[in-house]
Structure 1
Amino acid sequence: SVDYRLAPEHKFPAAPEDCYHVAKTLFCDGFPFPAKPEEITLMGDSAGGNLAAVVSQMARDRGEFEVKQQILLYPATFNDHTPASPFPSVVENGTDYLLTSKRVCDYMELYESSPADRQNPYFAPLLAEDFTNQPRTLILTAEFDPLRDEGEAYGAELQRAGNDVTVVRIADGLHGYFSLPPRFEAVQESYRWIQQFLKGGEPL
């Protein structure tokens, strides 16, 4: 869990650079615990899912270490959450549930250093020109989440580029459901997918 610098005091690209620095330390130096690089899985939810995906892209682009596995929970991957978004879930799920499309737009404005940042794939990983050589990936999206479609679109791009990707939509899930107690079915189902993914086996 990376204590990366937060916006608006520290705007893009502070957060992904902080996360990359920590990942590089873990993968290359084994600090603060000895771990083989192939045993490390990047994982994040929502904005953290964005950062995990971005760190994997940065690792591929910079060539300093290789990420073998990543788990992205309802990740933010795109740059437009207005009604002009190409993803239906932004409108369909953008007003009546926990996370609204307006709040996502507000977060993006706080995060960017300038409007030009929104065209940077390290800001919105779905804008990457190259999706090859990415980690084995599990993406879990939530049915009633404005970010649902962009997370699934990211998985589809990874698949088209030849990566090993599993994308699962959690029925009846809301954005942020993973922080609920384990007694909730959506959380239990997610645990099952994650456990099976980490074991390297077939989905449950």
Structure 2
Amino acid sequence: MLLAVTLEAEASAVIDQLNALGRPSFEDVGHERARAGFEEMPPAGEFVEIATTEDRTVPGPDGNDIAVRIYRPGEGAATADDSGTLGCLVYFHGGGWVVGSIQTHDRTCRSLTMLAGVVTVSADYRLAPEHRFPAAIDDCCAATQWVVDHAGELGVDPARVAVGGDSAGGNLAAAVALKCRDGAAAGEACSQPALQVLVYPVTDFERNTPSMIANAEGYLLTRSTMTWFDDHYCPPSERSNPYAAPLAVGDPAGAAPALVIVAGHDPLRDEGVAYAHQLADAGVPTTLIEYPGQFHGFFGMTRFLSQAREAQELTASILRRELAPAG
């Protein structure tokens, strides 16, 4: 049941400003213009200085290259052991599997790198509709395994690697955790992550949940846009595949511990909550945090929302705990 909670004051001001712009919807302009427009949006996150960034490409699963950006925190990072080896977060950006990139989520990755004291590796997986399911999840598994395989080069502990993402990126992080749990065929499997960070994740293709109906319009992500994303990414025949819809797994026992963050005025709220409960019921250590007065997309808006900063700090605290050196 949805709580009758109004938008938090800062969130209401941001939503009013965004709605006043009268921008066309993604479905009205098509995926190419939607991508360009998403890239051109002014950053909503604060810029955080970090020690270094490095852009490079790593091998993909289908002969493709995957662009990654590697973020390093300063000396004395919280997750460094006595040798200076760090924990790592492999991050997958949101954008409905259709829009978004390393660049659109650069400020979120910078912030989490410094707050958590981890190396962050942001992966630019292939986008739909040119590359439909399972291309994105295959790329994310490949990027995660590359981090594990090159842990020494990166200065990270292969046993202390987390996966995470927001929205569609949260979907991909959950799918990576399941695929690793399942021990998929050689060349597809990823080493089991130490934590999965799921920020308002897509976990299902059901578009008639109470939160989807209640928040169908007016809160940045709409029901019609979500359906448009679905149709671009995943054919109906695959929508019960748990690597596309993690909630369909039924029994996620043995998956990595999870942090799930949801927003009250988000069409995706109910499926995020449902997946958190499914994980917990299966014995997976799970922390569910809800921001009742927030909307989809708030996590990265640290320039405007104090609760975005709070959510990032909370995420970082759990990353520090779960990726702390042994002993």
Show the counterpart of 2:285.
164
- Work out whether 1:155 is the aligned partner of 2:281: no
Tell me, in whole angstroms, the C-alpha distance in 1 between the residues paired with 2:132 and 2:309. 35
Residues 64, 50 of structure 1: alpha-carbon distance in 2 compared, 3 angstrom cutoff: closer
| Structure with the larger helix share | 1
Question: Where does structure 1 differ by over 6 angstroms across 4 or more consecutive aligned residues?
Answer: none
- The one-letter code sitting in structure 1 at the alignment partner of 2:203 is T
Kept in 2, the 8 Å contact 1:80–1:105? The answer is no
Deviates more, 1:132-141 or 1:189-198: 189-198
Deviates more, 1:169-178 or 1:140-149: 169-178
Tell me, in whole angstroms, the C-alpha distance in 1 between the residues paired with 2:267 and 2:321. 30
- Same amino acid, percent of matched pairs: 36
Tell me, in whole angstroms, the C-alpha distance in 2 between the residues paired with 1:108 and 1:28. 32
Return the match for 1:100 from 211, 217, 222: 222
How far 1:11 sits from its partner (Å)?
A: 0.6
Alpha-carbon deviations, 1:117-159, whole Å to 9, x = none? 1111111100003211111211110110000110011000000
Kept in 1, the 8 Å contact 2:176–2:190? The answer is no
RMSD: 1.6
Tell me, in whole angstroms, the C-alpha distance in 2 between the residues paired with 1:9 and 1:32. 33
Deviates more, 1:99-108 or 1:181-190: 181-190
Which runs of 5 or more residues in structure 2 are unaligned?
A: 1-121, 184-188, 323-327
Residues 181, 192 of structure 1: alpha-carbon distance in 2 compared, 3 angstrom cutoff: closer
Kept in 1, the 8 Å contact 2:140–2:172? The answer is yes
Tell me, in whole angstroms, the C-alpha distance in 1 between the residues paired with 2:312 and 2:159. 21
Number of aligned residue pairs: give it: 196
Which runs of 5 or more residues in structure 1 are unaligned?
A: none
Return the match for 2:197 from 71, 89, 93: 71
- The one-letter code sitting in structure 2 at the alignment partner of 1:173 is Q
Return the match for 1:115 from 223, 236, 239: 236
| Structure with the larger strand share | 2
- The one-letter code sitting in structure 1 at the alignment partner of 2:201 is P
- The one-letter code sitting in structure 2 at the alignment partner of 1:139 is V
- The one-letter code sitting in structure 2 at the alignment partner of 1:26 is V
